[in-house]
Amino acid sequence: MLVISRRQGEVLWIGDQIKIVVCTMRGKRVSLGIEAPRDIPVVRDELRKADLEKTIAVANAQQHVVLEATEGSCVK
């Protein structure tokens, strides 16, 4: 992980297309402005984790339904 110190109003670039600006600093909180192409998702970590958990839950539920349908269709 690269750690960079920036002051309010200073800019950081990721490649040629992603610009990050330190907008405000209040105590322990920092507001960042992010300019990126529309095809590059910019998502907070907690939302990304929540989406991943939902995806896993849906996949598990679908697998459970398939297993129930398979088990119920067996002829003895």
Phi, psi (degrees; rounded to nearest 5) at 34: -125, 125
DSSP 14-63: ETTTEEEEEEEEETTEEEEEEE--TTS----HHHHHHHHHHHHHHHHHHH
Rounded distance, CA 20 to CA 58, Å? 34
Per-residue pLDDT reduced to its tens digit, 16-25: 999 999 999 9
Per-residue pLDDT reduced to its tens digit, 20-64: 999 999 999 999 999 999 999 999 999 888 888 888 887 777 766
Q: Which pTM does this prediction carry?
A: 0.64
Q: Any idea where the domains of the chain sit in the sequence?
A: 1-41, 43-76
